[in-house]
């Protein structure tokens, strides 16, 4: 009875507790025990966000459910990046690049790899719609190339930066591609993003009522705000720890991206465990598209009020990782089915990204 009450109470209490913790700690520099408490509340907020996202997904169905979490997290991620850039935390010139590229690597290798590992670990074969996943990957590759690779090679402005005209063009392209993908995912070719061969037992459960879905939507936003806000509160201790350990400041962007994408990661893994590999891919690739398609235009607009250059161009090491990741992802998605070997390849690439992030 106690466990049942706890299960029902925690998703409601955690976002509210997270919001209280955010209000208490905002603008402060927690130390010692306070850092540990904030980390605990942050973890509870992440789990709560996953629960409410799944409630909404069950109500609206796929692919809208995946889209809700991806867009919600990315919008708040944009706010976090801009807040950190304006506050002078870390290297503001490269913070957007580091965070967005980390999000791409986390989604394209980390989330996909974990989802395939969970789905195929018992000898099964993961099946999904190659049409939808392939289109999503093509969009990710195009967006990342236009916004993160090309700035390294342009010559109008010295350094890995766009000129004002180039940045505006990249922002417009990002909005156009993101908008066209959402249209395809939710209207024109919605069937390409529906789960294939699902074994989920909750498919036949009654969907939540409209009132329950609305409450979950409100609590989801509170949980996401608490998650990203507490991640910002933790960013200073993380930055200090990174500096003390002699790690590059780009590692801060990676850690923040890992925290912000935790709800989507958990939701994707849980979907894969229930046999809904397509839902996992919708979350992973949809998050990557939203991360670039919404972040770059917002940063481009904010750059008018930010001091200093905005370095978007990737380093040579990151470009190598990006190219091999796109190639591997294409080989994974084209057949429409994958085995444990593909999971291990993606996870090795993700591990390589993490190692090079702390030891470039």
Neighbours of 242 (CB within 10 A): 20
- Burial tier of 128 (Cβ tally within 10 Å: 0-12, 13-18, 19+): buried
Supply the pLDDT for residue 108.
93
Supply the pLDDT for residue 142.
96
> In angstroms, rounded to a whole number, what is the distance separating the alpha carbons of residues 356 and 321?
10
pLDDT tens-digit series, residues 29-83: 777 788 888 888 888 887 788 778 778 877 776 667 667 767 777 777 777 777 6
Task: Give Cβ neighbours of residue 173 (< 8 Å, ≥ 6 apart).
Answer: 143, 146
Q: For the residues of 11-46, what is the DSSP string, one character each?
A: HHHHHHHHHHHHHHHTTS---THHHHHHHHHHHHHH
pTM to 2 decimals?
0.83
Lowest mean pLDDT across 6-10, 264-268, 344-348: 6-10
The alpha carbon of 191 is separated from its chain's Cα centroid by a whole number of angstroms, namely 23
Q: Which two tokens stand for residue 117?
A: 């590992």
> In angstroms, rounded to a whole number, what is the distance separating the alpha carbons of residues 140 and 128?
18
Beta strands in the chain (DSSP E): 126-127, 337-338
> In angstroms, rounded to a whole number, what is the distance separating the alpha carbons of residues 188 and 287?
20
Supply the pLDDT for residue 110.
95
Residue 191 has pLDDT above 80, yes or no: yes
Binned at pLDDT 50, 70 and 90, residue 343 comes out as very high
Nearest alpha-carbon partner for 193 in 279, 67, 113: 279
Supply the pLDDT for residue 206.
66
The alpha carbon of 89 is separated from its chain's Cα centroid by a whole number of angstroms, namely 21
Supply the pLDDT for residue 3.
46
Q: Which two tokens stand for residue 317?
A: 């090491």
Instruction: Judge whether 234 and 38 are in contact, CB under 8 Å.
Output: yes
User: From residue 64, how far is each of 138, 229, 268, 272, 313 by CA, in Å?
Assistant: 20, 25, 14, 17, 32
Higher pLDDT: 232 or 183? It is 183
pLDDT tens-digit series, residues 243-284: 777 777 778 778 878 877 888 888 889 889 888 899 899 889
Binned at pLDDT 50, 70 and 90, residue 7 comes out as low
Read off the pLDDT of each residue in 141-147 and give the average, rounded to a whole number. 95
Mean confidence (pLDDT) of the chain: 83
Binned at pLDDT 50, 70 and 90, residue 200 comes out as very low
């Amino acid at each position: 009875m106690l466990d049942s009450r706890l299960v029902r109470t925690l998703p409601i209490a955690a976002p509210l507790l997270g919001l209280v913790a955010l209000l208490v700690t905002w603008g402060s520099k927690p130390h010692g025990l306070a850092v540990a408490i904030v980390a605990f509340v942050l973890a509870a907020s992440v789990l709560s966000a996953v629960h409410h996202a799944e409630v909404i997904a069950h109500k609206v169905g796929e692919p809208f459910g995946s889209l809700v979490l991806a867009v919600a997290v990315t919008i708040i991620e944009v706010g976090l990046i801009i807040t950190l850039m304006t506050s002078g935390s870390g290297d503001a010139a490269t913070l957007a690049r580091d965070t967005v590229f980390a999000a791409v690597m986390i989604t394209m290798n980390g989330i996909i790899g974990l989802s395939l590992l969970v789905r195929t670990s018992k000898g099964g074969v993961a099946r999904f719609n190659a049409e939808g996943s392939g289109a999503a990957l093509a969009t990710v590759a195009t967006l990342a190339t236009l916004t993160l690779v090309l700035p390294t090679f342009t010559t109008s402005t010295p350094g890995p930066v766009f000129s004002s005209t180039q940045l505006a063009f990249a922002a417009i392209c990002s909005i156009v591609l993101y908008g066209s993908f959402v249209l395809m995912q939710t209207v024109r070719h919605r069937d390409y993003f529906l789960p294939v061969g699902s074994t989920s037992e909750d498919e036949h459960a009654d969907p939540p009522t409209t009132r329950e879905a609305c409450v979950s939507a409100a609590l989801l936003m509170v949980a996401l705000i608490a998650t990203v806000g507490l991640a910002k509160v933790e960013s200073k201790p993380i930055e200090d720890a990174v500096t003390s350990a002699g790690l590059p400041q780009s590692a801060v962007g990676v850690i923040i991206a890992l925290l912000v994408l935790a709800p989507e990661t958990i939701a994707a893994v849980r979907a894969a465990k229930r046999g809904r590999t397509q839902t996992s891919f919708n979350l992973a690739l949809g998050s990557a598209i939203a991360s670039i398609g919404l972040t770059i235009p917002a940063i481009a607009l904010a750059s008018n009020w930010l001091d200093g250059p905005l370095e978007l161009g990737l380093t040579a090491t990151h470009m190598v990782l990006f190219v091999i990741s796109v190639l591997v992802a294409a080989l994974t998605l084209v057949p429409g089915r994958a085995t444990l070997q593909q999971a291990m390849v993606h996870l090795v690439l993700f591990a390589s990204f993490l190692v090079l992030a702390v030891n470039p």
